[in-house]
Amino acid sequence: MTFIADCMLGRLAKWLRILGFDVLYFSKAEDPDLVAIARREGRILLTRDSGLIERTARRPDRLFIRSDDWEDQIVQVLDEFELWDKVLPNTRCIACNLPLKPLARERARNLVTPYVGEHAASFAICSGCDRVFWQGTHYGDMERKIEKLLERRGRSLTG
């Protein structure tokens, strides 16, 4: 299941990527272009624009995002498409939307701070932009936010 988010949903798009989902996002895009891409690639259109929902009849599949709050938005998407068990943080680049490749600690050490190099549980790198991601330091602001989100549906990162 893949998505395309409208211009108003940048934070939702970023967070869906953090959780491992494939989400196209352009800070500037015309509605007909979003609809065309969604149809061509079979992506679900996420939009805050009720007019866009009305204008696009049935295709592509789309979801009207109700809230302005990004956490509520994520909960709505995960609820709607039953994705809570498909959350895989640290598997997709936040910037490029590309899948990450595992990165050995010996190589990661040269690319991150000494603390992270020692304490992170695992590393991954984006083949598009070479950005390094890691998880398991337990002190990351992002990890806390992910845990908080999952707790809203009784899930956790470890189980």
Residues of this chain that interact with Zn ion (CB under 5 A) are: 93, 95-96, 126, 128-129
- In the complex, minimum distance from the CB of residue 100 to Zn ion, in angstroms, rounded to a whole number: 8
Antiparallel, parallel or unpaired: β 3-5 and 44-47: parallel
Least separation in angstroms between CB 94 and Zn ion: 7
Q: Of the two residues 103 and 126, which places its CB atom closer to Zn ion in the complex? A: 126
State the minimum distance, in angstroms, from the CB of residue 99 to Zn ion: 10
CB 73 within 8 A of CB 64: no
Distance CA 49, CA 103 (A): 40
For Zn ion, which is the closer residue by CB, 75 or 96?
Answer: 96
What is the smallest separation between the CB atom of 57 and Zn ion, expressed in angstroms? 35
Structure tokens at 19: 């959780």
**Euclidean distance between CA atoms 59 and 26, whole angstroms:** 20
Question: CB-wise, 5 or 150, nearer to Zn ion?
Answer: 5
Q: Which residues of 71-102 are buried (b: 16+ CB within 10 A; e: fewer)?
A: eebbbbbbeeeebbeebebbbbbbeebeebee
Which is nearer to Zn ion, 63 or 111 (by Cβ)?
A: 111
